[in-house]
Amino acid sequence: MDKSQDNNHVDGLKNRFHQFLETLDTIEPETADLQEIDRLISMIDELEEQVEKIKSSN
């Protein structure tokens, strides 16, 4: 993978992480339900997959 593709993947990862943080900020800890927690876990799993793809391409 060339440098510009790597940069694009990293930029995409940054954007996705930013979305995760925004989602996390909107959740009230006292009232969070299982569906919200599952959504956060799913987002973390997606982030982890993207990081692994970037690492394996280098």
The pLDDT assigned to 9 comes to 86
Structure tokens at 7: 């940069």
Q: What is the pLDDT of residues 2-54, one digit of tens each?
A: 677 778 888 999 999 999 999 999 999 899 999 999 999 999 999 999 999 88
**Domain limits, the chain:** 3-57
55/21 Cα distance (integer angstroms): 22
38/46 Cα distance (integer angstroms): 12
Degrees, nearest 5: CA angle 42-1-21:
30
CB < 8 Å & 24+ apart, contacts of 40-46? 43/16, 43/19, 44/20, 46/16
For the entire predicted model, the pTM comes to 0.78
Is residue 3 helix, strand or coil? helix
